[in-house]
Structure 1
């Protein structure tokens, strides 16, 4: 059997295979009213289709820990119990299919309050359900974004607690794994990188200070997340800046520290914190960053980034470059990719009885 279809255990959670779905925002939640930020039929159908297609682990899209932490007014949230209750329909169905459910907890920072991508993704104001973004420093993402409000230390501590509260609700909602979003130019990534963090207090300046907020979030979430359940962290391994940015060396150093603080797997992506950079996009272009973390630290890793065919995915796992692969666009195109890949490689995935004709 291909290593791609071997089970993988972290703490006491066993994932049936190494084909995983990364968080991909759907921008489809209600922007106002009693069900603001709650998943509904679209989200259920979206995640259910990939579960019936054989995906071993599904990471639910970036879910905000507070209203102002959303990327757009149409993002999912987990800052109240109504939202947690709505997620149970999804986690229950995924569990019935043998798929492990995870959720990415996030705060968008200075990249918050934007429109949906198919509407252009530009910043929106109060007339379109928008709000004033927050960030480590009053530095706009680019010329089209507003200058965010600089977070006070009291507000930083409040956001740390919001992550912990969201993790408690994630457990109540039935999730088996929590992932902390520290990538793609959102709030935690903004603190990590000197490109976006210009603070002069205990949360800025040195590497130790810039990583302080991220580690405080990890510690707060780990304190409320059960010891038998894994905790993931998503990171941008590089800002793709030659100078003054977060680097692959920083990522390797930080991976060891995250592992010591109770993170069980690093979900390795890149970019998103600096506008206008040139990224050499190509098949598997981010895999080497994951492979380096896995080789140089005790941290397990998942690789992502234009992984599209079965042989390519299988080799990444078999060669020890990553412990699992995350397929984004390919699973959007083909929810049954894992089943088809298993047939091609001689592996096995669970097939719903109702789909017995497809075996």
Structure 2
């Protein structure tokens, strides 16, 4: 009789304790996770047994919901981690591509005077009749072919061996180019070539950046060889007036600087009124002038910003670290919930048996 009364009072005490408590949340840290690790495991198991014995189904449902929610969060963080890794790879690839492929930056520098360019004429059998400076596009009447008046041009004659052929000797007549671009200074050259047997007759010429470089050079032949290797050749034909307008382009990048000429040319037919016997002496006319007072400067600009790339990579690695830490804590929490669930099931089976 005493034994029966003691069991009944114990069962009544369990139900009365359960009615006054709130529903325990197995996934929160207040009831389970904030236990001091130094406390005995018996106290923890008694609390857990009490919660499971009172409300086993509700606690299990909440644990399942929390488990599913944690799995979804881990999947989302896995996708974000994949995106972060792809962003880091793309950032590094773009940086290397921009570093290897600089962008060309073009600026224009306005000047009043150009350094006189060198105009190298390869006359062959032709003869220079006149060379004069004019201003404002005003050209005086032509000289008769039988008269020769060199005029006010500064010239240099250089004989050298062609750089691409050791057996060809070139003779160049180098003329100092115009300088005053504001007053439209130009140089007008008149040449003649007598009794040519060629089907097409033309005179070649070459432009280089500074006439003073030739004057100050100790080895003028070597200087002209280098110019021929680095500059382009052009031609003007007989029986026409060829108007050449020059522009200067300076290119710099990777420690190398180069200068080149760009030109616009127009051709006007010469109305030859000489008698037929005199037309065997073919005439050439060419005008050299600066196109505009602007020097085009081209620079290589590297658009890759290392600091910006480093900042992006730091943000990406910080996100990866946070995602890894979250995944680690989530896995630990899921393992803990799984162990608790297995312990509850073992106790339930023990009580039933």
TM above 0.5, one fold? no
TM-score by length of 1: 0.22
Structure label with greater radius of gyration: 2
Decide which structure has greater helix share. Answer: 2
Structure (1 or 2) with the greater strand fraction? 2
Of structures 1 and 2, the one with the larger relative CO (CA 8 A, separation 6+) is 2
